[in-house]
């Protein structure tokens, strides 16, 4: 298991750089090593902090200090509470949309509008229980979802290995809500799926050196219990850093 890197820590919380491939917590069905296992081993006193879940047998699944999650294949900044008081304080900030998150993603294609906002509710996909949808193929409860995006750089590759001449955009995203797969779903809705997204763009090849989802939680900004502002930036992992060199 690739271990998280601690970017910041005090008595109330820590901010980590989560590696791609590491799931945050167990689904109760598999025994896969996850971020919560690492947290309990490194910080045994925070084992019961937060809101534990239960597996199908009714056994408790501890989620120590987990206030928010990143998808398995998403890397980057993630805040963990070390006390219940801090957990409740951070949870309230997330609910009130006072936590500012910045993501970088590499997506397929070039945008006509280089800056914009996707304000589209998200529901379950009609076609695949693993997926969510912001379009007419959604079902069930539709939950508000808003994502701001901005194109940072663009590239078009001249490569004989492709049937078409592919173009890509490096974007910055600010999810104003925290829905599951939100950035991935909204980019798919705009017809600019995230590179390496096998769930929402299964027919797209792996490109630019990405063997996983090209999505990185670049920074997170919030206030600590004392009211002080904390903003932490997560360095790019190797695959992301290598891909960015192509955007000149």
pLDDT of residue 199: 94
Helix, strand, or coil (residue 223): strand
Q: How confident is the model at residue 69 (pLDDT cuts 50, 70, 90)?
A: very high
* Among 92, 38, 37, 45, CA closest to 68: 92
Distance CA 177, CA 204 (A): 27
Residues in contact with 198: Cβ distance below 8 Å, sequence separation at least 6, in sequence order: none
Q: Among residues 27, 37, 71, 119, which one is catalytic?
A: 71
Q: What is the mean pLDDT of the chain?
A: 91
Residue 157 has pLDDT above 90, yes or no: no
Note if 71 is an active site residue.
yes
| Higher pLDDT, residue 115 or 163 | 115
Residue 132 has pLDDT above 60, yes or no: yes
């Amino acid at each position: 298991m690739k271990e998280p890197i601690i970017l910041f820590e005090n008595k109330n919380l820590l901010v980590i750089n989560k590696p791609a491939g590491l799931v945050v917590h167990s689904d109760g069905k598999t025994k896969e090593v996850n971020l919560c296992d690492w947290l309990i081993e490194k910080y045994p006193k925070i084992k019961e902090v937060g809101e534990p879940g239960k597996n199908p047998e009714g056994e408790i699944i501890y989620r120590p200090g987990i206030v928010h999650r990143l998808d398995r294949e998403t890397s980057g900044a993630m805040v963990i509470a070390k006390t219940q008081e801090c957990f409740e304080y951070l949870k309230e900030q997330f609910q009130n949309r006072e936590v500012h998150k910045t993501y970088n993603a590499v997506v397929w294609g070039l945008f006509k509008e280089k800056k914009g906002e996707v304000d589209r509710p998200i529901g379950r996909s009609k076609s695949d229980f693993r997926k969510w949808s912001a379009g007419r193929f959604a079902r069930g409860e539709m939950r508000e979802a808003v994502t701001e995006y901005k194109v940072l750089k663009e590239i078009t590759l001249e490569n004989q290995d492709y049937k078409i001449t592919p173009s890509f955009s490096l974007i910055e995203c600010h999810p104003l809500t925290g829905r599951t797969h939100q950035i991935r779903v909204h980019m798919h809705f705009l017809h600019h799926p995230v590179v390496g997204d096998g769930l929402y763009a299964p027919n797209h090849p792996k490109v630019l050196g990405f063997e996983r989802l090209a999505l990185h939680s670049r920074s997170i900004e919030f206030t600590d219990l004392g009211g002080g502002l904390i903003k932490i930036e997560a360095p790019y992992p190797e695959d992301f850093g290598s891909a960015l060199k192509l955007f000149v």
